[in-house]
């Protein structure tokens, strides 16, 4: 996220889980991202060029949220100039040995 902030981009980070909360449903996930972007665009009247674009990027379980948002945009917030929804996730596999049953 730091490179985006250093580059002058406005960054919104919706928290779909929060402390001690369960995962949100697909519909709620899809609304979090555009709601956050709409709030950022209206916050303190920032000035954007007429051709400003919104790009979504998710990490960890965020790709699901970005994917849902991109599916719902046309009907939910058609005024958002979102041109791309990127989905990024890292997969880490750790090999472990030992007994992992119930005790």
Q: Whole-prediction pTM value?
A: 0.63
pLDDT at residue number 102: 46
Task: List own/partner pairs for 71-75 with CB under 8 A and 24 or more apart.
Answer: 71/30, 72/27, 72/30, 72/31, 72/34, 73/34
Task: List own/partner pairs for 16-22 with CB under 8 A and 24 or more apart.
Answer: 16/61, 16/62, 16/65, 17/61
pLDDT at residue number 37: 83
Considering the chain, what is the average pLDDT of its residues? 72
pLDDT at residue number 46: 65
Domain positions in the chain are 20-84
pLDDT at residue number 39: 82
**pLDDT, tens digit, for every residue of 29-51?**
788 888 888 888 777 666 777 67
With a cut of 50, list the residues of the chain below it in pLDDT. Answer: 101-103
């Amino acid at each position: 996220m730091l490179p985006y902030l250093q580059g002058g981009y406005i960054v919104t980070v919706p928290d779909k889980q929060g402390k001690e909360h369960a995962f949100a449903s697909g519909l709620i996930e899809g609304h979090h991202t555009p709601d956050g972007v709409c709030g950022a665009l209206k916050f303190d009247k920032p000035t954007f060029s007429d051709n400003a674009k919104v790009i979504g990027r998710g990490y960890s379980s965020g790709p699901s949220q970005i994917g849902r948002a991109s599916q719902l945009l046309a009907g939910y917030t058609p005024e958002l100039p979102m041109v791309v929804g990127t989905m990024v996730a890292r997969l880490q596999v750790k090999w472990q040995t030992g007994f992992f049953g119930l005790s």
